[in-house]
Structure 1
Amino acid sequence: METALSVGIDPAKQRDLASRTLSAYAADYFDSLPGTGIDSETVDKYRRIYEQYIRTPLGIKPVAAIRVADVKKLRSQLSETISDRTKRPLSTATIKHALRLLRAVLNTAVEDEAIQTNPAALKFSAATINRQREHVDSRTYTRLTVEDIAAAADYIGTEQTWTSVDKRNGKTRTHVKPANPVYALAILFSAYTGLRRAELQGLEIRDLTLPQIPGTSGSVRVERAKKAAHGYISEPLKTTNAYRTIPLDAWLADDLRDYLARIHRDSANPTAPLFPGRLSRAEGKQQGRTVAVSAEMFDWSRPLDEEMVYKRYWLPALNALSLPHSRWHDQRHTFATHAIQSGENIRDVSRWLGHSKISTTLDIYASVLANEDNEKAAPTSRPVPRERNDVRENVVQLERKAR
Structure 2
Amino acid sequence: MKPKRYYTSSCLLPYRNGGWRGRLKFKKRDGTYGQVSKVMAAKSKRAAQAELKEWREEMEDLAQKKLKLGSMAHKTVKDLLDGYIDMLSASGSIESSTVYDYRGAARLVERRIGGIEFDSLDVTAAQNWINWAVEEGYKPSTIRKSVTLLKAAYRDAVGRLRVIDYSPVDCVRVPKARHREPNALDERERGRLLTFLSIARDCPENVGIYLALLTGMRRGELLALRWRNVDFGQKMLHVKASIGFGENGHYEKEPKNGGSRRSIPMPDEVTGILTRRLTAARAECFKAGVPFEQSMFVLGGPDGEFMAPERLSRHWAVTVRQLGLVGSEGEPPKFHDLRHTFATAAILAGTDIKSVSSLLGHANAAMTLNIYTGVNAQAKRTAMDAVAATMTAAPPVAEILELRASGE
TM range (shorter): 0.5 to 0.7
Equivalent of 1:192 in 210, 214, 217: 214
Quote the Cα distance in structure 2 between the aligned partners of 1:202 and 1:32: 28
Equivalent of 1:10 in 53, 64, 67: 64
The TM-score normalised by the length of structure 1 is 0.65
CA contact (8 A) 2:228 2:295 kept: yes
Equivalent of 1:273 in 289, 297, 314: 297
Q: How many residues align?
A: 320
Unaligned segments of structure 2, at least 5 residues = 1-55, 286-290, 393-408
1:273-316 per-residue CA deviation (whole Å, 9 max, x = no partner) reads 1112xxxxxxxxxxxxxxxxxxxxx55522122222212x1112
Superposition deviation, residue 220 in structure 1: 0.7
Superposition deviation, residue 236 in structure 1: 2.9
Letter in 1 for 2:243: K
Residue number in structure 2 paired with 1:44: 100
Which structure shows the higher helix fraction?
Answer: 2
Alignment of 1:47-66 (within 5 A): 47-51=103-107, 53-66=108-121
How large is the Cα RMSD of the aligned pairs?
Answer: 3.9
Alignment of 1:125-164 (within 5 A): 128-130=176-178, 139-145=180-186, 147-148=188-189, 151-152=192-193
1:10-51 per-residue CA deviation (whole Å, 9 max, x = no partner) reads 145479967542112223223333443324613333223212
- Indicate whether 1:102 and 2:150 are aligned: yes
Quote the Cα distance in structure 2 between the aligned partners of 1:124 and 1:334: 34
| Larger Cα-atom Rg | 2
Alignment of 1:2-401 (within 5 A): 10-11=64-65, 13=67, 20-39=75-94, 41=96, 42-51=98-107, 53-75=108-130, 90=139, 92=141, 94-110=142-158, 116-122=165-171, 128-130=176-178, 139-145=180-186, 147-148=188-189, 151-152=192-193, 181-211=203-233, 218-227=235-244, 229=246, 234-262=252-280, 264=282, 265-266=284-285, 268-276=292-300, 301-311=304-314, 313-322=315-324, 323=326, 324-371=331-378, 377-378=384-385
Residue number in structure 1 paired with 2:20: none
Superposition deviation, residue 157 in structure 1: 7.9
- Secondary structure of 1:29 counterpart: helix
Superposition deviation, residue 221 in structure 1: 0.9
CA contact (8 A) 1:341 1:368 kept: yes
- Secondary structure of 2:265 counterpart: strand
Percent of aligned pairs with the same amino acid:
21
Superposition deviation, residue 261 in structure 1: 2.3
Unaligned segments of structure 1, at least 5 residues = 83-88, 160-178, 212-216, 277-297, 384-403
The TM-score normalised by the length of structure 2 is 0.65
Superposition deviation, residue 5 in structure 1: 6.3
